[in-house]
Structure 1
Amino acid sequence: MSVNITFLGGTGTVTGSKYLVEHQGQRLLVDCGLFQGYKQLRLRNWTPLPIPAADIDAVLLTHAHLDHSGYLPLLIKQGYKGRVYATPATCDLCGILLPDSGHIQEEDAAFANRKGYSKHSPALPLYDKHDALVSLKALHAQTVGKTFSPLPGWNATFSFAGHILGAASILLEVAGRRILFSGDLGRPDDLLMNAPDLPPDADTVLIESTYGNREHPKEDVLAELGPALKRVSARGGVAVLPVFAVGRAQAVLYAIAQLKASGEIPHSLPVFLDSPMAVHTTDLYQEHPDAHKLDDDGLRALKHAATMIETPEQSKALAKRHGPMVILAASGMATGGRVLHHLEHYLPDHRNMVILTGYQAPGTRGATLADGGTFVRMHGQDIEVKAEVVQLQSSSAHADATQLLKWLKHMKHAPGQVYVVHGELEAADVLRQRIERELKWRAVVPEHGSTWPT
């Protein structure tokens, strides 16, 4: 009795993760992510899935980042009627992330229509806030480490993956086959998150490869971030940090709190977190103490590391302040959100600084900045880049290549096959080669839309 996987996203790219598992007419989708970055990838969001949404029987989410959960409102809008299973923290985060995603898409479409720079008339959102709120009703929280049955005869178990609050790996058992989905694996030395749980044995493994061709530097984020903030503060400039509202924002805030406590940067340096979503996410760390390593003192430091900005009026008022100051705002790759308005305002001044805090997917504005672009396209116009651009190499929430291999090595028995996913082609293929060479396991980088056995 065959069990097959069709790779509907997260192959050859770090976005759009969707893995369809099929057995005897039953269909289960692991992750339901949006494509981001290059336009040809983003256009996939508008292309219907190869099977009707109503024919999918269950959905499992590894975590709440939009490249893993952001397609969910659209799936339900298209007719999906089943349940969506995730860890408790992932359910809580989806309650923040998905409505915000719908709201941003509504705002972007409305702005494009007002300014007339869209090629579509009218420009429409992929889904709106109402669609996202409807989709939340499908979420069902499952305890980490406790096996449950998403479908009759199918068992699933979540284990902690580090990375962000609630992130999990998934062991799926069906028809005698054990399939392990790594999800996005965190680092064992992460500032906030616990190290990933050790992997169980499996017949088939899907391993992420975001950093499959790279190693993290030995210096930590404090050693990189401190000098940059000290430099921009000394010249009276403004540092704009595009951050993911979930995970990266909190890690950077905690790092800033530590830098101030140690005297590395001025204690008086104003810091603003301009993201309602990130503000609400920061509150969730107190509600899920088992999902991170912060104690009560650490949680207090995180909570008081910045002035929390929530309303649009408060956000606009920041533009009237003079530096030095630090502004953290979503999104992390500058693909949307309030950070665009800050970049538009501060990029043309050489006293200012943009600090990129993590991986920048090709085709995003963040990648343009990281590559030394002299102009960035925003809101239908080219904004000149005169501000200093700094890319932190040590702040990633993903395991690097050696850490990924070390995680795999903890499996007591070799799997029959490893599918290398969630990475750009070069990163995925380099990791594939290392798996075959160092572990002597069969590894494949599947193509988008391809179907493989387990």
Structure 2
Amino acid sequence: MSTAAQLHFLGGAGTVTGSRFLVESDGARVLVDCGLFQGLKVHRLRNWEPFPVDPAGIDAVVLTHAHVDHSGYLPALVRDGFRGRVHATPGTVELARIVLPDSGHLQEEEARYANRKGFSKHRPALPLYTEADARAALEHLSPLAFEDTVEVAEGVRLRLSPAGHILGSAVARLDLGPEDRRVTFSGDLGRPAHPLLRSPAPVGRTDVLVMESTYGNRHHDDSSAVDVLADAINRTAARGGTVVIPAFAVDRTEVVLFHLRALVEAGTIPRLPVYMDSPMALAALGVYRRAIASDGADLEPGLADHGDPFDTGDITEVHDVEESKALAGVHGPCIIISASGMATGGRVVHHLARLLPSHRNTVLLVGFQAPGTRGRSLADGARTVRMLGQDVPVRAEVVEVPALSVHADQGELCDWAATADPPPEVIHLVHGEPPAAAELARAIGRHVATRVEVAELGARVPL
């Protein structure tokens, strides 16, 4: 194998978003993940910069899963010249067919709204890419079953194993050259306690390990998470208020509905009207239901044995904008689940603008909130948040339930790294804020006898 084999950190370094890792070996170029930057403006602006390498010179893309911080830049990459195949599990392919067009549509909608209201600094405001760009990118998707192997570029072979994060999420293993030197990418790792998905596959043999560090400085308290969820709902119902849950449309919505159904069946919370106000979340819910019915390879067995695991008893599907607006006229305790999960855009922003000013209501934050997002501002106790061109007062109760996250915590990340056999030569930590990555590096150092490095944006390291 050529000594020129390198790993280039084009994103997902020093931040939780924008995962993009370029593997170069003997002239072949394979991009692992192709995500959007989210959160802080300094990060979001990177989406508008020219891609660091010529998209036409990339042979293949590998997606570890369908979340936009790992897949959402793909329409721009294709528009700007990428012509290869995009390899992912069947579950990821099916979800990407929902997520990417929705992302393009949302960006077009936000640009139109900003132009209509005149609060954009740009004249005119433009989308990063369009829904048409996203649909063109879908033509490049190529499904690969778990544990199958395919040569994605000359001398580069790929195998995907379950990562337990969302449906279809994968650990990606690339074997380079005739010596089969292996670099393994964790993608986003799920949790052994995930109620729907199997635990992440062990690392096994690898020479280099690239792993996420989102919750590298956190420990999830599973014992109280569902109690916190139930208590917040009961308090809000007693006040006659609305619980609004900014939920990631893929997987977090399914996990929340799973727990709501269990709480209702146990009599722990009342059977409240639940409004699912996200076309993308509804489409993703259909993907999960079909996967459960067919006993998908990365799902816990027997999920369908007791009926629909997501049926809370009183769900209303909200499809069009007029139905969403009509929720403003709903009175009495209820639950609204709406995307986006960090309140960066989508219909949930309109619900928050309406509901945040009243002390009767509650905002439940059930996933990671990146710095610079409205979700992080709410989690940090902001008394006002800027949305839709105005400062909205925050009088509603804000409750974080991080243990409902589908990201592994520090202990689970360390345990997974320890499944490498033998220990890798080096572990590169990515997809985490600097404090989380630094603390995880120290923790892994106490568990695994290897070198651990925190990745730097733009850096190249040898493979």
Q: Which residue of 2 aligns with 1:111?
A: 113
Secondary structure class of the residue paired with 2:160: strand
Aligned partners of 1:413 and 1:73: how far apart in 2?
Answer: 38
Q: Which residue of 1 aligns with 2:46?
A: 44
Aligned partners of 1:259 and 1:438: how far apart in 2?
Answer: 37
Does the aligned pair in 2 maintain the 1:221–1:255 contact within 8 Å? no
Secondary structure class of the residue paired with 2:101: helix
**What are the equivalent positions in structure 2 for 1:38-437 lying under 5 Å apart?**
38-175=40-177, 176=179, 177-267=181-271, 269-288=272-291, 289-290=295-296, 291-293=298-300, 295-297=303-305, 300-303=308-311, 306-437=315-446
How far apart are residue 436 of structure 1 and its match? 2.2
Q: Which residue of 1 aligns with 2:17?
A: 15
Aligned partners of 1:340 and 1:449: how far apart in 2?
Answer: 33
How far apart are residue 286 of structure 1 and its match? 2.9
**Closer, same or farther: CA 341–299 of 1 in aligned 2, 3 Å:** farther
In structure 2, give the amino acid aligned to 1:404.
Answer: L
How far apart are residue 369 of structure 1 and its match? 0.2
Cα RMSD (Å):
1.1
Does the aligned pair in 2 maintain the 1:285–1:299 contact within 8 Å? no
Q: CA-to-partner distance for each residue in 1:286-330, whole Å, 9 max, x for gaps?
A: 332323225214561314552211111111111111121100000
How far apart are residue 246 of structure 1 and its match? 0.1
Q: CA-to-partner distance for each residue in 1:418-443, whole Å, 9 max, x for gaps?
A: 10011000101111112223322101
Q: Which residue of 1 aligns with 2:37?
A: 35
How far apart are residue 391 of structure 1 and its match? 0.6
How far apart are residue 23 of structure 1 and its match? 1.3
**Closer, same or farther: CA 372–298 of 1 in aligned 2, 3 Å:** farther
Does the aligned pair in 2 maintain the 1:61–1:69 contact within 8 Å? yes
How far apart are residue 393 of structure 1 and its match? 2.6
Aligned partners of 2:335 and 2:127: how far apart in 1?
Answer: 31
Give the TM-score, by structure 1 length: 0.98
Q: CA-to-partner distance for each residue in 1:331-369, whole Å, 9 max, x for gaps?
A: 000011110000011001111111101110010000000
Q: CA-to-partner distance for each residue in 1:376-425, whole Å, 9 max, x for gaps?
A: 11111111101010111320101111111111111220111110011000
Aligned partners of 1:159 and 1:263: how far apart in 2?
Answer: 38
Give the TM-score, by structure 2 length: 0.96
Give the total of aligned pairs: 453
Does the aligned pair in 1 maintain the 2:190–2:408 contact within 8 Å? yes
Give 5+ residue unaligned stretches, structure 1.
Answer: none
Aligned partners of 1:7 and 1:41: how far apart in 2?
Answer: 15
Secondary structure class of the residue paired with 1:45: helix
In structure 2, give the amino acid aligned to 1:447.
Answer: E
Q: CA-to-partner distance for each residue in 1:257-311, whole Å, 9 max, x for gaps?
A: 11100001112x1111101111111111133232322521456131455221111
In structure 1, give the amino acid aligned to 2:69.
Answer: D
Does the aligned pair in 2 maintain the 1:28–1:59 contact within 8 Å? yes
Query: Is 1:438 aligned to 2:447, yes or no?
Result: yes
Aligned partners of 1:69 and 1:31: how far apart in 2?
Answer: 6
Does the aligned pair in 2 maintain the 1:282–1:303 contact within 8 Å? no
Does the aligned pair in 1 maintain the 2:241–2:362 contact within 8 Å? yes
How far apart are residue 207 of structure 1 and its match? 0.9
How far apart are residue 218 of structure 1 and its match? 3.8
In structure 2, give the amino acid aligned to 1:276.
Answer: P
Aligned partners of 2:255 and 2:317: how far apart in 1?
Answer: 15
Does the aligned pair in 1 maintain the 2:36–2:47 contact within 8 Å? yes
How far apart are residue 220 of structure 1 and its match? 4.7
Aligned partners of 1:323 and 1:246: how far apart in 2?
Answer: 28
